[in-house]
Amino acid sequence: MRVLLSLDTVLSCSLAYFFRVFGVVTVKKKSRAKKKPPHKKNRIRRVGILTGGGDCPGLNAVIRAVAKTLITETGAGIVGIRDGFYGLVMGQARELSYLDVSGILTQGGTILGSSNKDNPFDFYLPVGPKVVRKDCSKMALANYKKWKLDALVCLGGDGTMFVANRLIKMGMNIVGVPKTIDNDLAETDRTFGFDTAVSVVTEAVDRVHSTAASHHRCLVVETMGRYAGWIALYAGVAGGADIILIPEIPFNPEAVCEVVSSRYNRRKYATIIVVAEGAMPRGGKAVVEREISDSPDPVRLGGISKVVADLVEKRTGVESRAIILGHVQRGGTPTAFDRALATRYGYRAAQLVAKGRFGRIPVLKGNRITDVPIRRIAGKVRKVARNNPLIKAARGVNTSFGV
């Protein structure tokens, strides 16, 4: 060990001498002296952060990664804005210290609060006991200036990015982070939160197998996902569903019943159907659970599982039940995959801010994090392609898509 150490020392001394003689060290020193810390270069002193849209596991992991990286690398102060764009318009925010964002990696939800209703350009402004509907984007800009923000990091889905894109045009320096359990954002292979939602649904499907078998029933499990079938597809395959119904493949009720009946005739008395909330029969429409008038995207889907369960029971005679998993898919601690992805996204977002590369959003392509302009994501929905490899694999193991 001693001999190895001394050899090592001799080697490094002679290398240092060699570099000094040939001037290599001088060149290196010069470039080091020129390099300014990023905060001096771009003067990033204060950065706001908000979480918009429906909450999702991994939001706190992103907040932590953005804040810790920026505090460490640029020395910036972090301003946490309350309840998404609501807080930006109403001027509700607080300073976030390093300690504030420590220990939140595994926490579900968002420490900042969120809102999937508030759009500064069409805002429901509380004025005394009344609510006035008006464009409050100038109030949002005024708060951005009042808080002396050099940049604002917006965590959200297509709706949040749609608003962010308009705020950019008003002069705000914005960096986005792609969030949603639905995994339906354009330009990115994965949004954080999706993996957790799929795990929750898969566990639920695993559990209903035994009760369906005990009672010789058809159980229809409904997932979230809006107009895209990503959650139902992944959890349906992972949970071994017999039938998966997604919005991208409108189903034929006859075909669904035929699968249930033919299984019954082969003494497979139980059938598991996983249905996305946005699924619909051929020529039919998605089932709307409610409309929220003060929301920019007022339609809330829900109830297709009951339609399918009733149809199956009526036409096949197999007793059926509907199970709507609902918000349980959005709650709780993120999976290891989502924690890691959220940290990668948050770190990249902080880098974009530090380098002054505003108007951009980190995305995942394959296993690589890169970034694209926010406008390419704003207001767009990424659906499951009919030739998705997972659909092909599912068909390979005789999973039906109800067609």
From candidates 39, 300, 306, 321, binder to ligand F6P by CB under 6 A: 300
- What is the residue-wise DSSP string for 4-55? HHHHHHHHHHHHHHHHHHTTHHHHHHHHHHHPPPHHHHH---EEEEEE-SS-
Please, which residue, 301 or 374, has the CB nearer to ligand F6P? 301
Least CB distance to ligand F6P at residue 224 (A): 3
From candidates 112, 154, 181, 354, binder to ligand F6P by CB under 6 A: 181
Q: Of 179-187, 250-258, 314-322, 365-373, which segment contacts ligand F6P by CB under 6 A?
A: 179-187
Q: Of 33-41, 104-112, 141-149, 218-226, which segment contacts ligand F6P by CB under 6 A?
A: 218-226
Q: Which helix H or strand E contains 239, and what residues bound it?
A: none
Is residue 263 at the binding interface for ligand F6P, with CB under 6 A as the rule? Answer: no
Is residue 54 at the binding interface for ligand F6P, with CB under 6 A as the rule? Answer: yes
Is residue 382 at the binding interface for ligand F6P, with CB under 6 A as the rule? Answer: no
Least CB distance to ligand F6P at residue 197 (A): 8
Is residue 334 at the binding interface for ligand F6P, with CB under 6 A as the rule? Answer: no
Percentages (nearest 5) of helix, strand, coil residues in the chain: 40, 20, 35
Please, which residue, 24 or 292, has the CB nearer to ligand F6P? 292
In sequence order, the 6+-apart residues with CB closer than 8 A to the CB of 40 are: none
Q: Of 120-128, 224-232, 361-369, 382-390, which segment contacts ligand F6P by CB under 6 A?
A: 224-232
Could you tell me if 71 and 47 are in contact, meaning their C-beta atoms sit under 8 angstroms apart? no
* Alpha carbon separation from 317 to 55, 122, 258, 261, 262 (Å, rounded): 40, 50, 12, 9, 12
Please, which residue, 116 or 202, has the CB nearer to ligand F6P? 116
Is residue 224 at the binding interface for ligand F6P, with CB under 6 A as the rule? Answer: yes
Residue 47: what are its φ and ψ, rounded to 5°? -130, 130
Please, which residue, 46 or 300, has the CB nearer to ligand F6P? 300
- Both tokens of 47, joined, read 């950065």
Query: Residue 191 and residue 170: Cα distance in Å, rounded?
Result: 27
Least CB distance to ligand F6P at residue 140 (A): 22
Q: How many residues bind ligand F6P (CB under 6 A)?
A: 12
Please, which residue, 114 or 271, has the CB nearer to ligand F6P? 114
Tell me how many degrees the CA angle 287-288-291 measures, rounded to the nearest 5. Answer: 175
Is residue 178 at the binding interface for ligand F6P, with CB under 6 A as the rule? Answer: no
Is residue 330 at the binding interface for ligand F6P, with CB under 6 A as the rule? Answer: yes
Please, which residue, 51 or 271, has the CB nearer to ligand F6P? 51
Tell me how many degrees the CA angle 47-84-159 measures, rounded to the nearest 5. Answer: 110
Give the residue numbers marked as catalytic: 182
Query: Residue 193 and residue 163: Cα distance in Å, rounded?
Result: 21
Is residue 226 at the binding interface for ligand F6P, with CB under 6 A as the rule? Answer: yes
Residues 93-152 that bind ligand F6P (CB under 6 A): 116
Residue in 304, 327, 345 with CA at minimum distance from that of residue 54: 327
Please, which residue, 151 or 224, has the CB nearer to ligand F6P? 224
Query: Residue 351 and residue 38: Cα distance in Å, rounded?
Result: 9
The amino acid that residue 338 corresponds to is: D
Q: Of 160-168, 219-227, 238-246, 267-275, which segment contacts ligand F6P by CB under 6 A?
A: 219-227
Query: Residue 172 and residue 174: Cα distance in Å, rounded?
Result: 6
Residue 103: what are its φ and ψ, rounded to 5°? 85, 15
Q: Of 170-178, 180-188, 256-264, 391-399, which segment contacts ligand F6P by CB under 6 A?
A: 180-188
Is residue 180 at the binding interface for ligand F6P, with CB under 6 A as the rule? Answer: yes
Bridge partners of residue 309, in order along the sequence: none
Q: Of 130-138, 166-174, 223-231, 387-395, which segment contacts ligand F6P by CB under 6 A?
A: 223-231
CA 288 to chain CA mean position, Å: 23
- Which residues would be at the binding site for ligand F6P (CB under 6 A)? 54, 116, 180-182, 224-226, 277, 300-301, 330
